[in-house]
């Protein structure tokens, strides 16, 4: 969880290796229960006043979604941005 200048907080996902935030923060503040599902592929965020979010953190599904959005394989540069240190593997078939 990271604070903001407004005094509110946001739930953020960080890549430990690159120390970079991944994707957009989840909306809301006063996170009471962060937990992973039994498979480790989803982060569940339960807030004290309001919503519950289930955040898909499975890298394979992220690759598939990137292919759907781009309509093609990622370039080497596009791959390096979110996946530094990982061998380039064109994700789309």
Domains of the chain, by residue range, sit at 2-57, 58-93
- Whether the CB-CB separation of 73 and 91 falls below 8 Å is answered with yes
Check pLDDT > 80 for residue 17: no
pLDDT digits (tens, 9 = 90+) for 32-81: 777 889 998 998 888 777 778 888 888 888 878 888 888 888 888 887 77
45 phi/psi in degrees, rounded to 5: -115, 120
What is the C-alpha separation between 22 and 27, in angstroms, rounded?
15
Q: Quick one: pLDDT at residue 38? A: 92
β-bridge mates for residue 20, sequence order: 15
């Amino acid at each position: 969880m990271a604070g903001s200048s407004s005094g509110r907080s946001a739930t953020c996902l960080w890549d430990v290796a690159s120390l970079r935030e991944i994707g957009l923060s989840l909306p809301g503040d006063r996170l009471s229960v962060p937990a992973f599902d039994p498979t480790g592929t989803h982060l569940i965020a339960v807030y004290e006043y309001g919503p519950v979010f289930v955040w898909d953190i499975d890298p394979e599904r992220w690759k598939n979604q990137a292919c759907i959005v781009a309509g093609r394989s990622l370039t080497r540069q596009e791959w390096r941005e979110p996946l530094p240190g990982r061998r380039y593997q064109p994700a789309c078939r």
